[in-house]
């Protein structure tokens, strides 16, 4: 079996690391010759919309998938007309545009913060009369890790925030004073079988994910499963999907979904019976899905902007280090470590130790 992947970053690399033991071969399309997954398969180096490379990929791959959601829609459509593409171009299109995404959530009964489409300073001013302060202005497309976003605290912020977004089509949404952020990673295979992982509880700083902890038996699990199932079914989705949620007053409100394996699911590599990466491959290859049962109390800490000494991390005997083979750069995710503990107290101690190491090198 040959799986083609658009993108050859760390997510593609971890998909390949999970697929090699299953006998899967990989072809990666990525503009960068030193992209970090390249050495785990055959690299095709060039633009995502290079017709020659796309034709090669479509010709040779049994299934094509991707590691990021900003794949141009015409690329996904072209590939889908020549080979199998999972998740579908429709799922990509919805996830790429915050307005389409929120409308989709709304149509299938998944709650979101109040929101409005904005395409001029006047429409922003108008929207704020109903949304209220504080609020967040977000570009409809191309935003990730908090990029293309501005917090609006009062009317005084509107002109500056709109200028910062350079007039791109945007959405403004109510700021949610959440008690915590969680995500649910779910998987649906070609035959329609669905499995869910236990909730991840996520800590962000500066809009970037820092720590995810597996929450087995979380009281919000059922609600999250109900919402993500609606999404999977409505999109006729195949593969891993991550739905990011805010918890407020015992209820869940959707922020966004990622049509791919997700950073908040990295703890599954050692912390679940089957990792999100392996289950993504099983799903798109229509193989039986693996058990998602957690193994111990698991968590993941990201290393961003810089790397501690390997030996400092490995001195924590329960730590598993995953280097992405990427050179450090401000705000760039370069590695993560996972830990499994016997009880929540031990887990919190381990997460603290890893977070200290991460903070020493973090320049974001």
Residues that bind ligand AMP (CB under 6 A): 113, 136, 143, 146, 173, 175-176, 181, 204, 207, 244, 255-256
Cβ distance to ligand AMP smaller for residue 94 or 136: 136
Q: Specify burial of residue 254 (Cβ count, 10 A radius: 0-12, 13-18, 19+).
A: buried
Give the nearest distance from C-beta 47 to ligand AMP in angstroms: 25
Token pair belonging to 360: 């020493």
Cβ distance to ligand AMP smaller for residue 28 or 115: 115
Residue reference for tokens 């490995």: 314
What is the DSSP track for 12-59?
Answer: HHHHHHHHGGGT-EEEEEES-TT-TTGGGSEEEES-TT-HHHHHHHHH
Phi, psi of 283 (to 5 degrees): -65, -50
* Residue 254 and residue 98 in contact, taking contact as beta carbons nearer than 8 Å: no
Give the nearest distance from C-beta 181 to ligand AMP in angstroms: 6
Give the nearest distance from C-beta 68 to ligand AMP in angstroms: 14
Cβ distance to ligand AMP smaller for residue 51 or 206: 206
Query: How many whole angstroms from its chain centre is CA 352?
Result: 23
Cβ distance to ligand AMP smaller for residue 26 or 267: 267
Cβ distance to ligand AMP smaller for residue 137 or 298: 137
Give the nearest distance from C-beta 118 to ligand AMP in angstroms: 14
* Residue 6 and residue 71 in contact, taking contact as beta carbons nearer than 8 Å: yes
Dihedral over Cα of 168, 330, 310, 324: its sign: positive
Cβ distance to ligand AMP smaller for residue 97 or 244: 244
Cβ distance to ligand AMP smaller for residue 135 or 298: 135
Residue nearest to ligand AMP (CB): 176
Dihedral over Cα of 86, 88, 94, 96: its sign: positive
Give the nearest distance from C-beta 301 to ligand AMP in angstroms: 16
Specify the pairing of strand 180-188 against strand 194-196.
antiparallel
Dihedral over Cα of 203, 204, 205, 210: its sign: positive
């Amino acid at each position: 079996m040959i799986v083609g992947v658009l993108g050859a970053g760390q997510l593609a690399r971890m998909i390949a690391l999970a697929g090699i033991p299953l006998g899967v071969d990989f072809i990666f399309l990525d503009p960068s010759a030193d992209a970090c997954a390249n050495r785990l398969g055959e690299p095709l180096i060039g633009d995502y919309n290079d017709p020659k490379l796309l034709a090669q990929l479509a010709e040779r791959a049994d299934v094509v998938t991707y590691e990021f959601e900003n794949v141009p829609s015409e690329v996904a459509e072209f590939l889908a007309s020549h080979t199998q593409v999972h998740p579908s171009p429709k799922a990509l299109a919805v996830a790429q545009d915050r307005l389409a995404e929120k409308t989709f959530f709304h149509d299938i009964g998944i709650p979101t913060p109040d929101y409005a489409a904005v395409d001029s300073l006047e429409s922003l001013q108008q929207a704020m009369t109903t949304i209220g302060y504080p609020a967040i202005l977000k570009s409809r497309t191309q935003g990730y890790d908090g990029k293309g976003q501005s917090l609006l605290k009062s009317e005084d912020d509107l002109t500056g925030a709109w200028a910062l977004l350079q007039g791109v089509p945007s959405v403004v949404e109510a700021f949610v004073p959440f008690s915590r952020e969680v995500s649910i990673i779910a998987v649906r295979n070609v035959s329609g079988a669905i499995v869910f992982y236990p909730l991840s509880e996520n800590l962000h700083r500066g809009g970037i994910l820092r720590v995810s902890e597996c929450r087995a038996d979380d009281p919000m699990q059922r609600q999250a499963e109900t919402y993500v199932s609606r999404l999977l079914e409505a999109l006729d989705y195949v593969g891993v999907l991550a739905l990011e949620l805010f918890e407020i007053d015992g209820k869940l409100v959707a922020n966004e979904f990622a049509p791919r394996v997700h950073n908040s699911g990295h703890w599954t590599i050692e912390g679940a019976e089957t990792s999100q990466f392996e289950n993504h491959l099983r799903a798109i290859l229509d193989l039986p899905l693996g058990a998602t049962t957690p193994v111990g109390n698991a968590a993941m800490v990201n290393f961003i902007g810089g790397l501690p000494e390997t030996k400092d991390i490995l001195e924590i005997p329960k730590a598993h280090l995953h280097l992405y083979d990427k050179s450090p750069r401000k705000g760039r995710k370069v590695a993560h470590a996972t830990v499994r503990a016997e009880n929540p107290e031990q887990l919190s101690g381990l997460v603290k130790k890893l977070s200290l190491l991460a903070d020493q090198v973090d320049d974001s």
